[in-house]
Amino acid sequence: MTTPVYLIRHAKAESRTRWMEPDHLRPLTKAGRRQAKALTTLFEAQPFSRLLSSPYLRFVQTLEPLAETRGLPLETADELSEGAPVNAALALIISTAADGPAALCTHGDVMRLAVEGLVAAEVPIEGPLELKKGATWILEVDGSAVARARYLPAPAKRRR
């Protein structure tokens, strides 16, 4: 039996080139906040035991609506931060799965390296090899390895 770990790229954030403050403080845009809120609907049937995020603001903001609706604490983990070694991120994914289904929010570079590593290890992959903001890779963990992975597009950023 496998345990799903949902590896989510942060929702749409303020432009990196226009943002003049430290990058770790860069927030989601209005569209990104709507996208983050849409995760609660997208995953409403999915039970989660843990929610983990890069400590950067936009990542925490991406999972906050999910944490609020589930009544779960939102943990931060440096292993999900930009530039983190992919082996550390993969080890966190595996160890987190031992506690049950989880959602982890990470940077594009960490997600890219993790997916590339799975492809190189010939893990069965379903869907396009994309890394769009707000999108999810569902990693099915079996013991100490990822058994398969599936791409889930970002939820729509509908105006309300």
Residue pLDDT, tens place only, 96-154:
999 999 999 999 999 999 999 999 999 999 999 999 999 999 999 999 999 999 999 99
- What integer is the mean pLDDT of 19-39? 92
Q: pTM for this one?
A: 0.94
- pLDDT of res. 58: 96
The model's pLDDT over 66-98, given as tens digits with 9 standing for 90+, comes to 999 999 999 999 999 999 999 999 999 999 999
β 145-152/136-142 pair status: antiparallel
Least confident of 10-24, 34-48, 102-116, 139-153: 10-24
Higher local confidence (pLDDT), 10 or 22: 10
